Structure 1
Amino acid sequence: MKKLLITWVTWLTVANVQALELEPCFIGAIGSGVSTAAECGQLTVPENRQNPDKTIDLNLAVIRSTSNEKLNDPLLLLAGGPGQGAVDTFAGIVKIFDAMLPLRDIVLVDQRGTGKSNPLRCEIDPDEYEALSDMDSDAWKDWTKKCHQGLDADTRYYTTTEAINDLEAVREALEIEQWNLYGGSYGTRKALTYMKMFPDSIRSVILDASVPQEQALGVEHETNLRNTLQQIFALCEADEACQTAFGDAEQQLWKFLDQLKEAPINLRIQNSSTGTFEDVLMTREYAVIAMRMFAYSPETMGLIPLMVSLANHGQPETMAAQAQMVMNSLNEGLNNALEISVSCAEDVPFMPKTSNTTNSLFGDELFELMHARCELWDSIAVDPSFKEPVVSDIPTLLLSGEYDPVTPPKNAEQIMQTLSNAQHLVAKGQGHIVGTRGCMPKIVTAFIKDPSKELETECMNDFRDFSFFINMNGPKE
């Protein structure tokens, strides 16, 4: 039933595009502390454009500029993951876009399979994590089959390409001639795919934490995380206070991971989401997740040697609690079945069947497990042309964090080889996603205002390496 009291309603119609009704709303992810006024609505699109009998509703929100000089080239946010919804993601990166609102609308569209756009998500019992990563266990098979069967979706059509077709439908429905794209992490794949499919629809592009189109997500995770951890431990060794407190922290990490591989630890810790105390089995996988997620930002990079030292001296609860907190956050924010659909169509077909890494952080059977999982999932491998580098002259700004453990600066340099109108900025001492950091929102805003103008980046000199925590009270001054 429609609301009876509505202060304003916007109706937009385009040939062959369903009417789009937008109504006043407030958006903000639960727990974000953000509540932003917007206009929200749904656009109905075919799940399979070759057989449009079944439809899905795309959830979207438009944050309106109130300027009399508003420009009709809004900013479109492309969320990451795969599996994040754009409407909720906005709450965490609102700082980037505040300065753009005076002259431009901001458009948020939950990718099909995320947010409120027919989300594809299956619950995971925390006690199952270890079994779900064990190739010899039937648990991952049972979970994958049950998950797939329980979805109200044809998973073959939940891919990046279909998501871009959806965005074109939204653009036409909103009567936008061109818009500017901001993509973070996996969102950069969506941006690059959009540049390839519909270049005339795009005015400018920002790629924050870039994923090369030709890269199979997951293949580089081992190398990138190891490199970042090695850099962190090298910085610790060069820091007198850190080296004195922890010695060779890198060797301690491998020692602890080997111990967990042989004998996981039973612990009782407080669940960060519920506040209740739970019995958990701290496995090697738990510890690696903690290390990886703590390497995402400079605020937590400085904790890694301390966590390793505590774990090696009879106090693994700190690392386990942080791993559990990360797992809870991932479970809440990601639609894991959408991630499987994207991965099985766009990444796994281009992965090796086995890992050549000895003592892999992510498990020696990771690739084998991913291939086996996709055999139980309905998907259609993308045409090899999807993985070809994107050739474009669209103005593009690439942003990287110096210590990004997932999408390091070399990724952006690789992408730039076929972009003739691009520039790359590296934020010193930073991790994954840097558009919100320091003066970066100011730089991003300047680029959107005039993509042809040389950027003033002197303020980036204020970025510094992070400080190490010597104890839980903080860094030593």
Structure 2
Amino acid sequence: MAVIPAASTRPSADPVVFMEGGPGGDAFGAVPFLVASGVNGDRDLIVVAQRGTLHSQPSLACPEMDRFSATAVGLPYDAPSTGRGLVRAAKECRDRLASEGIDLRAYNTTENAADFAALRQALGIKRWNVYGYSYGTDLALTYLRRHPQGIRSVAIDSVVPPQTVSLPWAWDSAREGINAIFAACEAQPACKSRYPALSRTLTEQVRRLEADPLRLTAEPPGGGTPVEVVLDGGTLVNLLVADGRLVPSADVPAVLYELAAGNPERLARAQAAGATPAIGEFAHGLTHSVACAEWAPGFSRRDVLEAGRRAFPGWPDSVLAHAPQLPFEHDLCRVWNVPDRTAVQRVTTYGKVPALAITGTFDAKTGASWGPYAARTLSRSTAVVIPGITHWVVPQQPCAASVLRSFLARPHAPDTGCVSGVTPKPFTLIP
């Protein structure tokens, strides 16, 4: 745990506790973004390493999976052989963790939420404010449902509703985010003129790459030794669904048209970024303990495929058979072997605690509509949708950061006036 003091000389007594995403992310790595957004402006900020993550004991890091990911940039995304390699790496990690006496059944959102409740009491804090993003919103809503005592307010950013999140759900979010980018391009005359028919272009390129993958050599974005990469349909989709750092949303139309014109270099460099993962820093063990217990059960491979077909008709089934960002998860869950927890976790949160839901229209991981959806059962909630922003909205958009600070100061009446003035930035135009 770390406490970042309030910037104010007269801070409020109720701090903010931050819930990191992932699941499995390093919460301390988020501190610079939180401070830059002014989350600690008027109150202390408490940042907690969730159970199983970096800086907690034991850590559920999986270097075995990190090393496989480094080689997977040069493999077809959805090939059965790639899936076998991923599952083998996951089993190696699981077997090692089990040999160390770690009970993976204890790493779930219910226990994670209980940790935060126990921490508040241990610190002697009467009331605090909760701010979580991505998986941290799933955790925050679970925490509010199970441990409402001592919560002054809850802010959720890039929302994952616990009652809805599943492998098929990922296709709904991918469709919403990608289509929002295309609609925003359509609304900008220069972009519309330069990049017409983006949806058709994407479908054509997914189909073309899946039928005939490109094998290239590319230098990672940060420099270094060039590596071999494969660009197939699944790779293209997952680069677009990622949080926008590898392929910025403003570049998406240009990148697709470059690809269609025979220039895949920018996509190849983005794919090459995966060749240099931070070995042992991300807690894949927490990711799959949560996903396999709470997100995967109750939905078959066929359900995932059908959700993909509804989201993107005309795409190859080989691409649509895998939930974005979680390929081969059913196979992996068989070897991860944790019990189904959906009966206690796939539950709607109701509450009267003041709540703020912030989402971004370009978010293809957790679609923008899930913020208002989750807010419907929170009777004192405010939902804001920020145009033109991808995953984890507050650090990317000063207006969103202002709304969050206003909410923390006045949870019942946050100032959302700036939202109406936010528009997507102009898209990149190539000659």
TM-score, structure 1 length as denominator? 0.78
Offset at residue 350 of structure 1 (A): 3.2
Alignment partners' CA distance in 2, 1:462 and 1:108: 32
Segments of 5+ residues of structure 1 without an aligned counterpart are 1-59, 473-477
- Aligned position for 1:54: none
Residues 1:127 and 2:86 aligned together: no
Residue range with higher mean Cα deviation, 414-423 or 117-126? 117-126
Q: 2:294 aligns with which of 336, 343, 346?
A: 346
Are residues 1:292 and 2:241 paired? yes
Q: 1:331 Cα deviation (Å)?
A: 7.1
Q: In the TM superposition, what is the alpha-carbon distance from 1:395 to its structure 2 partner? A: 0.8
Contact 1:62–1:105 (Cα < 8 Å) also in 2: yes
Residue-by-residue CA offset, 1:375-424 (whole Å, 9 max, x unaligned): 11131221513212111111111112123222223212222222111111
Choose from 357, 363, 382 the match for 2:319.
363
What is the correspondence of 1:426-445 to structure 2 with a 5 Å cutoff?
426-436=385-395, 437-445=397-405
Question: 1: distance between equivalents of 2:61 and 2:78?
Answer: 18
Aligned to 1:379: 338
CA distance in 2, matches of 1:327, 1:185: 24
| Count, aligned residues | 409
Deviation at residue 69 of structure 1 after TM alignment: 4.2
RMSD: 2.7
- Please point out which of 294, 316, 336 is paired with 2:264: 316
Aligned partners of 2:279 and 2:204: how far apart in 1? 29
Residues of 2 paired with 1:101 and 1:180: CA distance?
13
Which 5+ residue runs of structure 2 have no aligned equivalent?
310-314
State the shift of 1:208 in Å.
0.9
Residue 339 of structure 1 and its aligned partner are, at CA, apart by 0.6
2:152 alignment counterpart? 203
What fraction of aligned residue pairs are identical, expressed as a percent? 26
CA distance in 2, matches of 1:411, 1:268: 39
Alignment match of 1:175 (pick from 113, 119, 124): 124
User: Aligned ranges for residues 401-412 of structure 1 at < 5 Å?
Assistant: 401-412=360-371
Taking the TM superposition and a 5 Å limit, the aligned residue runs for 1:99-248 are 100-102=40-42, 104-117=43-56, 118-122=58-62, 123-125=66-68, 126-128=70-72, 130=75, 133-135=78-80, 138-151=84-97, 152=100, 153-248=102-197
Deviation at 1:194, TM superposition (A): 0.7
Give 1:87's match in structure 2, choosing from 15, 21, 28: 28
Give the counterpart of 2:347 among 388, 395, 398.
Answer: 388
Which has more radius of gyration? 1
Match of 2:407, SS?
helix
Counterparts of 1:49-68 in structure 2, within 5 Å, are 60-65=1-6
Residue 248 of structure 2 is aligned to residue 305 of structure 1? no
SS at match of 1:207: strand
Q: For 2:408 and 2:267, how far apart are their aligned partners in 1?
A: 41
Aligned-partner Cα distance in 2 for 1:333–1:185:
18
Please say if 1:97 is aligned against 2:38: yes
Q: 1:250 to 1:330 in 2, by over 3 A?
A: farther
| Residue aligned with 1:439, SS | helix
2: CA distance, partners of 1:231 / 1:335: 31
CA contact (8 A) 2:19 2:27 kept: yes
Q: 1:124 to 1:202 in 2, by over 3 A?
A: same
SS for the counterpart of 1:363 is helix
Partner of 1:25: none
Give 1:48's aligned residue: none
Q: Summarize the Cα distance change of 1:66–1:470 in structure 2 as closer, same or farther, 3 Å threshold.
A: closer
Which has the larger helix fraction? 2
**Match for residue 263 of structure 1 among 206, 212, 225:** 212
CA shift digits 1:344-364 (9 cap, x unpaired): 111111323322134368834
Q: Is the CA contact (8 Å cut-off) linking 1:96 and 1:435 kept in structure 2? A: yes
- Is 1:78 the counterpart of 2:19? The answer is yes
Partner secondary structure for residue 67 of structure 2: coil
Q: What SS does structure 2 have at the residue aligned with 1:268?
A: strand
Greater relative contact order (Cα 8 A, min sep 6): structure 1 or 2? 2
